[in-house]
Amino acid sequence: MFRFVAPFLALLLVPGFASATVIVDATFVEQAIKRGAILWDVRSRTDYRKGHVPGAVNIGEAAAELRDSNSEDFIAQSEIETLLGGAGIDPAKEVVVYGWRGSTTPHFADYALRHFGAPRVHVFHDGYEAWVEGGGAASTDDFRLAPIDLRLKPVAGVAVSTREVVAMVGRSDVQILDARTRREFSGEDVRAIRGGHVPGAINIPYERNWRDAETAQKVGRREVRDTAGMSLRPADDLRKLYAGLDPGKETIVMCQSGVRAAQTASVLRDLGFRNVRIYDSSWIGYSARLDAPAENEVFLNVGQMNSRIRELSRRVEDLERQLQQQGRAATCTNC
């Protein structure tokens, strides 16, 4: 049925990788559906209703639904139990997660499930576009599984706290990988109370996992028609990208709030890194702890930020006045 095989499926043939394979292709998804795996579409409800893989369930955009919009940490565990249980998403079963090609959200959903003990989660990174491009059927039905009474319990070894990260700074047996942009890492782009990075951290932006790291910008500028460049690079290229890291060491992956980091963590796990953990609070949590050491430290200029907000507000008001004037002119013309 499907005409392509993702590079990571080749890892299934390598001894020791079969059970650990995280990132899968459309052929794997088709086979998983046949054996009764849960298929979780993590896109928005609007996108889901426009078309999805038949048999996929949806609770809305997962990274937004499962996290507090202010702190960007998980919402209360009881609320997560209600959301997932109501959709019939049982972490104890095999689960395949997908969204749009290149999106970080399916990888975040994988992390969330594993954080609560899920043993078999796979990410269809190329997502809905690849499913349709490969000839897969699409559905607009609101598919539902039977609700379950879900009781979750976080497991050790998946996430890491700010306290733990601070204690890890300077340790030779731990490597910290920062998946943010170069400008965030250097302190030029400040998105929290402080800019900069954890001392000793290595910066490899998560977009470099893609065949073309500039795809998102190119799509925005209409230089390319599709998101094909957001497919992951071949496994050999990814090994070269992360050649400076030791697969045998504990690896902490972070970004701004843990979502971008989840994609890189999936890639590292598929490459055979043995102990990959996600720093969920990431730079938001680390920067807020003012006694935590930082390199390229830059504090947020609140006055400058407020000035920019006021300038933006003025521009919006000017635009609204122009639109009102144009509307009155059009009305008079039609009198």
Whole-number Å distance between alpha carbons of 120 and 92: 8
Q: What is the pLDDT of residue 306?
A: 55
So what's the pLDDT on residue 327?
A: 58
pLDDT in tens, 158-206: 999 999 999 999 999 999 999 999 999 999 999 999 999 999 999 999 9
- d(Cα 213, Cα 288) in Å, to the nearest integer? 30
| Whole-number pLDDT of residue 3 | 34
pLDDT computed for residue 16 by the predictor: 32
- pLDDT per residue as tens digits for the range 198-226: 999 999 999 999 999 999 999 999 999 99
**Residues comprising the chain, all counted:** 335
Cβ contact 108:158 at 8 Å? no
Q: What is the DSSP string of 83-108?
A: HHHHTT--TTS-EEEE-STT-SHHHH
Tens-place pLDDT, residues 38-94: 999 999 999 999 999 999 999 999 999 999 988 889 999 999 999 999 999 999 999
**278 bridge partner residues:** 159, 253
Q: How open is the CA angle 65-67-73, to the nearest 5 degrees?
A: 175
Give the predicted TM-score (pTM) of the model.
0.84
Fold agreement (7-133, 159-299): yes
Average pLDDT, the chain: 89
Domain covering 159-299: architecture: 3-Layer(aba) Sandwich (3.40)
Name residues whose C-beta falls within 8 Å of residue 300's C-beta, 6 or more positions apart in sequence: 190, 192, 193, 194, 195
pLDDT digits (tens, 9 = 90+) for 124-140: 999 999 999 999 999 99
3-state secondary structure of 140: coil
- Split at pLDDT 50, 70, 90, the class of 301 is low
Question: Which pLDDT score, from 0 to 100, does residue 280 have?
Answer: 95
Rg of the Cα atoms in the chain: 22
The matching CATH number, chosen from 3.40.250.10, 3.40.50.10490, 3.60.15.10, 3.20.20.150, for 7-133 is 3.40.250.10
44 touches 61 (CB < 8 A):
yes
E strand spans, 204-249: none
* Alpha helices by DSSP H, the chain: 26-34, 45-50, 62-65, 77-86, 105-115, 127-133, 162-168, 182-186, 215-220, 235-241, 259-270, 282-288, 302-333
Domain boundaries along the sequence of the chain: 7-133, 159-299, 305-335
